[in-house]
Amino acid sequence: MNWWKPLIQAGAVPGSGSKGEEPEAAERAELVEDAELRAHEISAESRVPPAVSFLNGFERWSVRAYDGVIPVVEAYIAAAVRRREGRGGLQAVGVRQRSFAVAALDRMKPDLRQLLEHSAGDIEPVDGEFVGQPARYLEQVETIVRRARAHVERELAESTLERLGAEAWLVLDGLLSRSPAVARHPRALGVIKSHGAQFLEGRGLERALTLPAGHRTSVFAVRGGHTRTETYSWYLRLWPWEGNDLLYGLLRIEARAHPDTIARASELSGWLWSERAPLATPATRWDRLLYPLHQVEEYLKALAPRDVLQRASRLPSLAS
């Protein structure tokens, strides 16, 4: 007999899972709805907007060469918006792509640097202080690529909002607060599926993490992104977590910091709840990934250069 079964028989909730996301720094949240964080049943009669644009981004990078101990990295980033009219398929309405090299230019040998500048064209520099520390260097590369991707996504989001229809919405994968213009738009939502950053504590945190499926939490205000723009946020549970882990099916939604957001939080949650189907399989985090956002990612993968997607074999090459 398994030792944990008596616990469940005694009232513990069955679960599963292992190590999850890397923890990030705790963020401060200010409750703007209810006196204390509560679970609200979402609206069953919610309306799916007639037109919705979904934005997602994509990044890949790989070391292609070494100048001594300096890794020279090839990076590819892209973002796309695919629009859904009514209930139907998605059509791409905007794409941004960028291919560039990442290297500590000021520490490279002159001839190789000249050759790199001549052939690559678009290069993001790495601070020379990371040279000699491969792990930190690559961490810095990761940061540079991610920042570049965020930039592309922000530009695309802003341009999309400029031509968004009167009743159309923009749903983007990740923080809404990357761009003040996007964060303040009345019909833009950010859908966050990573929960490394912790906004709640105590009883409120417990209520959020044990939120039943089909419920949302009270709305709270957060400041996010490097612009620290304030947005309103709430948690939404798409699938029952019991039998899985606490973050299973849990989304954090961001919308503009406005009283209207509080008034419409249940309605908007009902809409997002209806986006559970189709399932975003075979993505591993399908429980938190909306299918249209998954589709945008697949679209970007299809556009990406083939060599960017291929992983090099780590088997040693045989000498000829």
Partner 1 sequence: MNAVPIGRVVATELKPATPHQFHFWTAIETSIGIGAIVKVEGGGTGEEGRVVYGVVTEGFAYSDLATPLHDVVGAEGDPARAADAPTARQQIRYWTAAVLRQTPEEPLQPVPLGQVFVADDADVAQALRMDAFLYSATPTAIPVGLYTSAGRDAPVYLDADFLLGPEAAHLNISGVSGLATKTSAVEFLLASIFAHFPGHKGRIAALCFNVKGPDLCFLDQPGDLSDEDRRRYQRLGVPAEPFRNVRLFAPLKADGVNLNTLRTHPDLVGDVEPLTWGLQEVVDFAEVLLNRDDIDAKADAFIDFLRDRVLGRTFDDGFGGTHRVQTFADLDGFFRSIFDGLEITAGGRSDTWRTHHIATMRKVRNRLLNISTRCKGLVTDDGPSSDLPWKSFEDRAVYVIDIANVDPLGQDLVFARVVSKLREQLERRELGVDAVVVFVDELNKYAPGDGPDTYVKKMLLDISERGRYLGLVLFGAEQFRSQVHRRVVGNAGTQLFGRMDMDELATPGYQILTPATKSKLATLPIGELMVRHPHFTQPIFVRFPKPPVLRGRDGVERFPPAADVPFDEAVVRQLVRLDRRVRPNQVKDLIAEREQEDVRRALAAARQKRPDDAFAYFRKVLGARVEPERHGEREHHAVPPLNPISDEPY
- By the criterion CB under 8 A, which residues form the site for partner 1? 48, 52, 84, 87-90, 274-279, 281-282, 291-292, 295, 298
Contact 169, 275 (CB under 8 A): no
224: closest CA among 216, 215, 232? 232
Q: CB of residue 285 vs partner 1: minimum separation in angstroms?
A: 14
User: Rounded distance, CA 163 to CA 74, Å?
Assistant: 33
Q: CB of residue 278 vs partner 1: minimum separation in angstroms?
A: 5
- Of the pair 87, 118, the CB lying nearest partner 1 is at 87
- Of the pair 87, 311, the CB lying nearest partner 1 is at 87
Tokens of 91: 């059509």
Q: CB of residue 310 vs partner 1: minimum separation in angstroms?
A: 14
Contact 224, 177 (CB under 8 A): yes
Contact 222, 254 (CB under 8 A): yes
Neighbours of 182 (CB within 10 A): 26
- Of the pair 58, 137, the CB lying nearest partner 1 is at 58
Contact 100, 124 (CB under 8 A): yes
Q: CB of residue 36 vs partner 1: minimum separation in angstroms?
A: 32
Contact 217, 40 (CB under 8 A): yes
- Of the pair 277, 312, the CB lying nearest partner 1 is at 277
Q: CB of residue 276 vs partner 1: minimum separation in angstroms?
A: 7
- Of the pair 81, 101, the CB lying nearest partner 1 is at 81
User: Rounded distance, CA 70 to CA 63, Å?
Assistant: 10
